[in-house]
Amino acid sequence: MSKENKKRTILQGFEWYLPDDGDHWNRLAGQAKELQKMGITGIWLPPAYKGTGGIHDVGYGVYDMYDLGEFNQKGSIPTKYGTKEQYLTAIKKLQAAGIKVYADIVLNHRMGADGVEEVNAVLDSSNNRNNCISAPYPILAWTKFTFPGRNGVYSDFTWNASHFDGVDWDDRKKQNGIFLFEGKSWEQNVDKELGNYDYLMGADLDMGNQEVIDELDRWGKWYLEQTNVDGFRLDAVKHINFSFYTHWLLKLRKESGKELHTIAEYWNPNASALCHYLDASGHVTTLFDVPLHFNFNKASGNNGNFDMRRIFEGTLTDARPDYAVTFVDNHDTQPGQALESFVQAWFKPLAYALILLRDDGIPCIFYGDLYGIPHDNIPPVKGLPELIKARNFSAYGTQTDYFDHENIIGWTRNGSPDMPDSGMAVIMSEGPGGSKYMCVGAEHAGETFVDLLGNCTDKIVLNETGCGDFKVGGGSVSVWLPEKACTRLTE
Ligand code: CA
């Protein structure tokens, strides 16, 4: 694990059901100092360009990537999150607080075209996209993007059917389906789910068309110049030619001279697929550890019968720790969403301790966990701000694992001389409560440790070798810190 990664603590700065009030950029700007104080070092902002749903679009229904809330298109000037001016102000305020800004980049598809075109297309089986189930016939496809509301400002590029591989709607027959345009083929270097998972939704960009590549290069340069963001979160990379971002990112990094640290979303529960993407794309990006999310989801719903010794089994954190961005939930896994697989509330503090207080992985905290999801009456995860602080002030030094019991696991960190009163003992149970004898380090001999989360209220005095019998309640986690550190972190 590189030192640089260890310092990173990222917040996903939104959840699906934020109000459509055009005020979120302002909210985040107002939270910058509080987030910095908590120990957040990076924030992933939602897509900032105009979506087909206008002010109601979460951002993934991309319409015009040059409209960052500046032009009257799709029913409003602002996006769901605000105007371009507010976006740029929020970025500046977050950066001024020492928080790096990650922009959400959605290049796979476009939606809400300005006009239809007649295109010859074949219908592919939706379950096996390699399987063509019709002869070519003319369909009416929504592929003409002229952006009349922007009228050529920033770019006069317009899109037509030649820039796309296919769509999922024939406006002549009013028919749904996976339509592949005649003379086109799905990109081969993509995820193999459904035979070929190039097509996800909307009008699917043809990354084999040089005009498309050139336009995306121009847009990336423009966007970086306009916004001065520090890095990217890449959407839906399993649906895009695996070498595309190698080209796009390396070019932008070279031109800008910036690091442009990047996290990509490759939604697949198998670490082998994620490792393949890392290799195939030349390790230009880190990836969300999707398998770990599913382990958390399973553990939380298994009635105390999950073997906690195996919580990291089959994860990217285990296979490629330097490229793993760990997370508990996100805007797609929250209740009501496409990939709903929400980790149960009782397990969330355990999951966050696992991603925040250990050595491996870059943790990404979900806005809906930090601030709650009012739309579904879901409260904030109890103790999460304290866990984030503990990561930054206490989770240092050698990590010693005690993954030796099917219900109760733990680990210790012996601390760093550079961080006063650092070091900790973490213990959690997904079954009944109990205790575990763990050693923090001889330098902590005789120190009194207390539970930062207040789940256990007694005090533990370490013996002459810096070891102690640490307790935990049932279905709970306790983070034992030197008493002095605990007082400071809860002030
Ligand atoms: Ca695609």
Instruction: Output the furthest CA–CA distance in the chain (Å, rounded).
Output: 82
Do 313 and 416 reside in the same domain of the chain?
Answer: no
What tokens were used for 21? Answer: 């009030």
Distance 208 CA to ligand 1 centre (A): 11
Has residue 1 got a pLDDT over 50?
Answer: no
Count of Cβ atoms closer than 10 Å to residue 157 Cβ: 17
Q: What is the pLDDT of residue 6?
A: 57
pLDDT category of residue 104 using cuts at 50, 70 and 90? very high
Do 77 and 161 reside in the same domain of the chain?
Answer: no
Number of H helices, E strands in the chain: 12, 24
Average pLDDT estimate for 248-274: 98
Average pLDDT estimate for 302-312: 95
Q: What is the pLDDT of residue 141?
A: 98
Q: Residue 187 is part of a domain; what is its CATH number?
A: 2.40.30.140
Do 233 and 379 reside in the same domain of the chain?
Answer: yes
d(CA 370, CA 31): 12
Q: What is the pLDDT of residue 89?
A: 98
Average pLDDT estimate for 208-236: 98
The identity of residue 477, as a single letter, is V
Do 61 and 132 reside in the same domain of the chain?
Answer: no
pTM of the entire predicted model: 0.97
Chain mean position to CA 328: 10
Q: Which of 172, 205, 238 represents a domain boundary (last residue)?
A: 205
Please tell me which residue in 20, 165, 170, 235 is annotated as part of the active site. Answer: 235
Q: Let me know: does 40 contact 391? Beta carbons within 8 Å.
A: no
Q: Which of 393, 416, 432 represents a domain boundary (last residue)?
A: 393
What tokens were used for 220? Answer: 């990336």
Tell me the pLDDT of the chain averaged across its residues: 97
Count of Cβ atoms closer than 10 Å to residue 274 Cβ: 26
Has residue 444 got a pLDDT over 80?
Answer: yes
Do 288 and 431 reside in the same domain of the chain?
Answer: no
Has residue 144 got a pLDDT over 70?
Answer: yes
HSE-CB for 300 with a 13 A CA cutoff: 20
Distance 267 CA to ligand 1 centre (A): 14
Count of Cβ atoms closer than 10 Å to residue 303 Cβ: 8
Has residue 28 got a pLDDT over 60?
Answer: yes
What is the per-residue pLDDT across 331-383, written as a single tens digit (0 to 9) for each? 999 999 989 999 999 999 999 999 999 999 999 999 999 999 999 999 999 99
Do 357 and 422 reside in the same domain of the chain?
Answer: no
Nearest to 68 by CA among 252, 212, 56, 80: 80
Q: Which residue has the tokens 């009008």?
A: 203
Q: What is the DSSP-derived secondary structure letter of residue 478?
A: E
Do 91 and 145 reside in the same domain of the chain?
Answer: no
Q: What is the pLDDT of residue 491?
A: 79
Distance 200 CA to ligand 1 centre (A): 6
Distance 342 CA to ligand 1 centre (A): 27
Has residue 3 got a pLDDT over 70?
Answer: no
Average pLDDT estimate for 429-452: 98
Has residue 7 got a pLDDT over 80?
Answer: no
Distance 176 CA to ligand 1 centre (A): 18
Nearest to 441 by CA among 407, 409, 399, 474: 399
d(CA 334, CA 389): 25
Which value, in Å, is the radius of gyration of the alpha carbons in the chain? 24
The three-class DSSP label of residue 300 is: helix
Q: Which of 393, 420, 435 represents a domain boundary (last residue)?
A: 393
Q: Residue 29 is part of a domain; what is its CATH number?
A: 3.20.20.80
Q: Which domain holds residue 164?
A: 110-205
Q: For residue 413, what are the β-bridge partners?
A: 399, 424
Distance 264 CA to ligand 1 centre (A): 15
CA-CA-CA-CA torsion for 166, 168, 169, 170, nearest 10 degrees? 50
Contacts of 64 (CB under 8 A, 6+ apart): 49, 50, 71, 73, 145, 147, 149, 150
What tokens were used for 164? Answer: 């796309």
Backbone angles phi, psi at 271, to 5 degrees: -60, -30
Has residue 254 got a pLDDT over 50?
Answer: yes
Do 218 and 322 reside in the same domain of the chain?
Answer: yes
Distance 164 CA to ligand 1 centre (A): 9
Q: Which protein residues have their CB within 5 A of the ion that is ligand 1?
A: 108, 198, 204, 239
pLDDT category of residue 283 using cuts at 50, 70 and 90? very high
Has residue 319 got a pLDDT over 80?
Answer: yes
Do 292 and 358 reside in the same domain of the chain?
Answer: yes
Q: For residue 479, what are the β-bridge partners?
A: 426
Catalytic residue flag (residue 265): yes
Do 350 and 313 reside in the same domain of the chain?
Answer: yes
* Total count of domains within the chain: 3
Distance 316 CA to ligand 1 centre (A): 24
Please tell me which residue in 104, 191, 206, 265 is annotated as part of the active site. Answer: 265
The identity of residue 393, as a single letter, is F
Q: How far is CA 100 from CA 94, 157, 188, in A?
A: 7, 31, 35
404-428: burial string, b at 16+ Cβ within 10 Å, e else: eeebbbbbbbbbeeeeebbbbbbbb
Catalytic residue flag (residue 198): no
Do 360 and 427 reside in the same domain of the chain?
Answer: no
Q: Let me know: does 479 contact 438? Beta carbons within 8 Å.
A: no
Do 308 and 433 reside in the same domain of the chain?
Answer: no
Q: What is the pLDDT of residue 4?
A: 47
Helices (H), 120-267: 210-227, 244-256
Has residue 2 got a pLDDT over 60?
Answer: no
Q: Residue 462 is part of a domain; what is its CATH number?
A: 2.60.40.1180
